[in-house]
Structure 1
Amino acid sequence: MHCSLAVSANSSSPPGRDIDCDVLIVGGGINGCGIARDLAGRGWRVVLCEKDDLASHTSSSSTKLIHGGLRYLEYYEFSLVRKALQEREVLLKSAPHIMWPLRFVMPHDPSMRPAWMIRIGLFMYDHLARREVLPGSRTVSLRRHAAGAPLKKSYSRGFVYSDGWVDDARLVVLNAIDARERGAQVFTRTRCVSAQRGSDGWVATLEGADGTRTVRARAVVNAAGPWAESFLRGVARSARGETLATKSLRLVKGSHIVVPRLFTHDHAYIFQNPDKRIIFAIPYEGDFTLIGTTDIEIEGDDPAGARITEDEIVYLCTQASRYFEKPVVPADVAWTYAGVRPLLDDDSGDPSAVTRDYLLEPNSEAAPLMSVWGGKITTFRKLAEDAADEVSRMLGEARPAWTDGAFLAGGDLSPWIGKAIKPDADFERFVVAMQQKHAWLPATLARRLARAYGSRVDLVLGDARSMADMGAEVAPGLHERELRYLQTSEWATTADDVLWRRSKLGLHYSAAERAAVEAWFSTTRIEEGTHACN
């Protein structure tokens, strides 16, 4: 059991005290938190800082898929697709509460791609990596398959294949929890304002709401995502004060819309567009359908300001309406979000063609520096493993990799269900076991808590034995006991952290209900000396 002082950023170091560590990681998205977890698990002393909340930007704004990237085959990205396909089942087994298999239906439109080309692509997709959990692809009649019912009758044939779904923001948080429990210090809403490189170490200044810290680190990992280039140009400095930037990023915005549920079956759709792009239509949060994404290159140095445009909304509605019998119109849109993908500039003219693979750039001319360029959520674990290997090498001591086959926080369900068999079935067995143990929980709430926290759910419930023990119901299905857990153990400091990242309850709540959660945070603070033991 690891205990950390829960002061603002759940740090384990009082404000103002200098910190000595092996590795300072800048960036609290999926790559930064994944690397922190891996390095901490190898015994390195790790500090991670994030200027906002964990997963505030790109890592909570994905299409939320664990996928090989079927369309990347057309760009001959065979190595990337194979790597991603290999990772799908590793990830599904590591956290079955926040990831699960998902079947995709591609209606065949002969004007887009011929059937033989799609079949070849799906054959490669099925066989580029070994599958144990996910079934292979097949051809279906949309006049007989349930997925054909909401589509226009002109689509009579389709192709079905497998990938996976992930709660992206919770994936980031689970990596951060695992990193903390292995000894890492995680500071959220804490900006690295300077990082000075010496011959044998770095001196960095971190500024947060609770004060300033000086961190002395043997190595720095730049995992700042869309800000990775600007970090090297404006924050990190060589011993002579020179910039450390050597590469450029292309910032590509991907926007999504969420509309009321368009179909009741459990498959997702992949639609081919006349512009040779694709969009997905995915079951989302029970009552909704998620549609995305776009690829729009953006200019400027403020990725945080990226927002969906009216043109993008119209584009997504128009492309979805080419397939669905009932048109999707902008007035249907219940919620939107946009994320900025930090893609390594490879001189591709089309943003959709820019590689989604990652590049790790080690620099050991003085104190070690590792910069992470690009990447996608499916390959985060492998990226983190490769990065930890390289950082360990630069620090002069090879330490073995360990995350392949390891569970993420809450992912080991065996204490509840015994031996794991198949991730999606294991989760359903876990829900049954949890409802038996906590029969007083309403079924809908029990399932939501199971999905969010997995085997850590008892840390949320604590000694509660009735709904009265859960404290006041701040908003429907959201009680004070859970909010306090999120405050003390998951770095939540605002209503948005809970409503849009630790969960998607904000999508289900009215404005008044969201305001009630905001009011709770405005009047409830973690007291100095409160401890979170995980």
Structure 2
Amino acid sequence: MAETAHYDLIIIGGGINGAGIARDAAGRGLKVLLCEKDDLASATSSASTKLIHGGLRYLEHYEFRLVREALTEREVLLGNAPHIIWPLRFVLPHRDDLRPAWMIRLGLFLYDHLGGRKKLPASEGISFANHVSGAPLRDGMTKGFVYSDCWVDDARLVVLNAIDAKNCGAEILTRTECVGAKQTDGHWQVSLRDQQNGQERQVSGRMLVNAAGPWCADLINPDNGVVQSKTCANIRLVKGSHIVVPKLFDHDYCYIFQNGDGRIVFAIPYQDDFTLIGTTDVDFTGDPAKVKIDQNEIDYLCKLASGYFKKKVASDDVVWTYSGVRPLYAGNGESENASKVSRDYTLKLEADSGAAPALHVFGGKITTYRKLAEHALQIITRQLGTRDAPWTAKEPLPGGDFPNASFDDAFAHYAKRYDWMDHRLLKRLLRAYGTRIDMIIGTATKIDDLGVCYGHDLYEAELRYLIDHEWVRKIDDLIWRRSKLGLRLSSEQIAALENRLAQIDADPRSVAAE
């Protein structure tokens, strides 16, 4: 029998919280293992609205600490990952029948000042008669407000944290499910099953972290018997869905629309040629892996958007949808409307005398993942008897080491370096991989050197990189999480990619094939 590997920390869950904790812990010298039963960011962490934001509407619920922390993190993350995070300006049309103008002005004043804003422009009032954002809106909307937040490629944010964790010594196991974890002689004995071949392995850890997202409660449910635990998880699963339609406007501003039910919905430029509209808030039961948008949600988003845009949005316009399940910590608010349940996070430590500790991660939002990880490490280092030494605030994520954190400067540099490359392809690669683009291009001096093209400028060189360095194994990993090329590739091109991935899976040496 193979000798059991020992770790300081075993993390269950490869979403943003698990990957963030793995990165922070490994960078402090802890021996870390992260297991994810599917692909990295395969659930909630790739189904967000793709925003790094403070959460303007949370001010109405008096969640000032959450908003302040999120706004502060917005500035930190913008500096750490300027390739996958960039500023946006949001337009909030004013409606007399909803929130009064004074309330919006007060909220935006707080939003401008709570988080120590330094890099982003302040909010302002605008007249739609002389502002580009007014043209697509219905007649009768005369004024609004503009404020700043940021865009993020959420799935790539997870992957970059996992890459950095691996670079710091962590072991990252995708498609590896935790099928059992119990206490033995003051350590966690954890059983892991490879989802590809069914083989199991045993590992041992000084501490366990449950960062399983929408499965966090199921993992410790006594009826399931997967993880031995006494912690009660009062989790409320809330589905959020989005639709993507052909672009509705020709400018770079985003919209935040109020609705009579108290909710807000965003309309955001997406992948150059589309508009992303979302999200919904619907209580969810069932398997989070099978979550899908329903027709009521599509109709809700289309109707809300049509109430603001001159161009009607209909369900026939929808070219893609995605849904995710948010594991919100309910506390005592189970009767509240789903949209009012806090997006704040809760960390619950389970540390009985003589037993190995466990930390359970409930709730959270993608913007505050790094602070969540720091708070988790405060607890972890105390339990493991190591020094609490935060380090991630000023360290760029892989590929994000642009001079002056400037994407424009980096683009100008690489446009000269790879003057043979089409600028649209260069922009896509630089936005996805940052300075790691050199690992894809290698010694290529012309486009043909990148190998076979599978469609929409996806070349063999990029595919090889994603398999070798970013855990890509299946088609959805490639075209929906590492990229959004699924919006552009034909069914024949997707089939060709599936065949290529199957070939590589059967014979890993074939990854070098031309």
TM-score (norm 1): 0.92
Map of 1:32 onto structure 2 = 18
| 8 Å CA contact 1:474, 1:520 repeated in 2 | no
Map of 1:352 onto structure 2 = 339
**Letter of the structure 1 residue corresponding to residue 205 of structure 2:** A
Q: Report the secondary structure of 1:311's partner residue.
A: helix
- Residue 52 (structure 1) aligned to one of 38, 41, 49: 38
| 8 Å CA contact 1:488, 1:526 repeated in 2 | no
Map of 1:305 onto structure 2 = 290
Distance in structure 2 (CA, Å) of the matches to 1:17 and 1:101: 49
Distance in structure 1 (CA, Å) of the matches to 2:258 and 2:128: 16
**Letter of the structure 2 residue corresponding to residue 355 of structure 1:** S
- Residue 370 (structure 2) aligned to one of 377, 381, 389: 381
Question: 1:245 Cα deviation (Å)?
Answer: 3.3
Structure 2 residue 449 is the aligned partner of structure 1 residue 449: no
Distance in structure 2 (CA, Å) of the matches to 1:369 and 1:359: 14
In the superposition, relative to structure 1, how do residues 375 and 473 fare at CA in structure 2: closer, same or farther (>3 Å)? same
Task: Give a deviation string over 1:54-92, Cα, whole Å, max 9, x none.
Answer: 000000000000000000011111111111011001000
Distance in structure 2 (CA, Å) of the matches to 1:235 and 1:381: 30
**Letter of the structure 2 residue corresponding to residue 222 of structure 1:** N
Task: Give a deviation string over 1:256-297, Cα, whole Å, max 9, x none.
Answer: 000000001101000000111000000000000000000000
| 8 Å CA contact 2:238, 2:281 repeated in 1 | yes
In the superposition, relative to structure 1, how do residues 67 and 385 fare at CA in structure 2: closer, same or farther (>3 Å)? same
Task: Give a deviation string over 1:199-239, Cα, whole Å, max 9, x none.
Answer: 5210101111253221111000000000001111134444x
Question: 1:411 Cα deviation (Å)?
Answer: 0.5
**Letter of the structure 2 residue corresponding to residue 304 of structure 1:** A
Distance in structure 2 (CA, Å) of the matches to 1:232 and 1:199: 20
Distance in structure 2 (CA, Å) of the matches to 1:82 and 1:485: 38
- Matching of residues 121-132 of structure 1 within 5 Å: 121-132=107-118
Task: Give a deviation string over 1:336-365, Cα, whole Å, max 9, x none.
Answer: 000000001123321111010001111111
Structure 2 residue 183 is the aligned partner of structure 1 residue 197: yes
**Letter of the structure 1 residue corresponding to residue 316 of structure 2:** A
In the superposition, relative to structure 1, how do residues 481 and 199 fare at CA in structure 2: closer, same or farther (>3 Å)? same
Distance in structure 2 (CA, Å) of the matches to 1:257 and 1:34: 28
Distance in structure 2 (CA, Å) of the matches to 1:517 and 1:282: 29
Distance in structure 1 (CA, Å) of the matches to 2:427 and 2:227: 49
Structure 2 residue 97 is the aligned partner of structure 1 residue 111: yes
| 8 Å CA contact 1:197, 1:236 repeated in 2 | no
- Matching of residues 51-450 of structure 1 within 5 Å: 51-208=37-194, 209-210=196-197, 211-233=199-221, 234-238=224-228, 243-300=229-286, 302-348=287-333, 349-365=336-352, 366-414=355-403, 420=404, 423=405, 426-450=406-430
| 8 Å CA contact 1:67, 1:163 repeated in 2 | yes
Map of 1:5 onto structure 2 = none
Q: What is the number of residues matched between the two proteins? A: 504
Distance in structure 1 (CA, Å) of the matches to 2:499 and 2:511: 23
In the superposition, relative to structure 1, how do residues 460 and 244 fare at CA in structure 2: closer, same or farther (>3 Å)? farther
Task: Give a deviation string over 1:165-185, Cα, whole Å, max 9, x none.
Answer: 000000000000000000000
Question: 1:530 Cα deviation (Å)?
Answer: 10
Structure 2 residue 451 is the aligned partner of structure 1 residue 471: yes
Which shifted more, 171-180 or 507-516?
507-516
In the superposition, relative to structure 1, how do residues 528 and 186 fare at CA in structure 2: closer, same or farther (>3 Å)? same
Distance in structure 2 (CA, Å) of the matches to 1:363 and 1:531: 44
| 8 Å CA contact 2:83, 2:407 repeated in 1 | yes
Question: 1:517 Cα deviation (Å)?
Answer: 1.5
Distance in structure 2 (CA, Å) of the matches to 1:451 and 1:389: 33
Percent identity, aligned pairs only, is: 53
Q: Report the secondary structure of 2:180's partner residue.
A: strand
Task: Give a deviation string over 1:484-515, Cα, whole Å, max 9, x none.
Answer: 11001000001111100000010112222222
Distance in structure 1 (CA, Å) of the matches to 2:380 and 2:230: 17
| 8 Å CA contact 1:321, 1:328 repeated in 2 | yes
Map of 1:8 onto structure 2 = none
Question: 1:464 Cα deviation (Å)?
Answer: 1.6
| 8 Å CA contact 2:239, 2:325 repeated in 1 | yes
| 8 Å CA contact 2:244, 2:274 repeated in 1 | yes
**Letter of the structure 1 residue corresponding to residue 302 of structure 2:** C
Map of 1:525 onto structure 2 = 505
Q: Report the secondary structure of 2:121's partner residue.
A: coil
| 8 Å CA contact 1:151, 1:325 repeated in 2 | yes
Question: 1:16 Cα deviation (Å)?
Answer: 6.1
Which shifted more, 208-217 or 256-265?
208-217
| 8 Å CA contact 1:475, 1:516 repeated in 2 | no
| 8 Å CA contact 2:239, 2:323 repeated in 1 | yes
**Letter of the structure 2 residue corresponding to residue 52 of structure 1:** D
**Letter of the structure 1 residue corresponding to residue 32 of structure 2:** V
In the superposition, relative to structure 1, how do residues 445 and 531 fare at CA in structure 2: closer, same or farther (>3 Å)? closer
Q: Report the secondary structure of 1:131's partner residue.
A: coil
In the superposition, relative to structure 1, how do residues 235 and 504 fare at CA in structure 2: closer, same or farther (>3 Å)? farther
Task: Give a deviation string over 1:293-312, Cα, whole Å, max 9, x none.
Answer: 00000123x11111000010
Bigger relative contact order, structure 1 or 2 (CA pairs below 8 A, ≥6 apart): 1
| 8 Å CA contact 1:229, 1:245 repeated in 2 | no
| 8 Å CA contact 1:321, 1:327 repeated in 2 | yes
| Runs (5+) with no aligned partner, structure 1 | 1-14, 415-419
Question: 1:20 Cα deviation (Å)?
Answer: 1.1
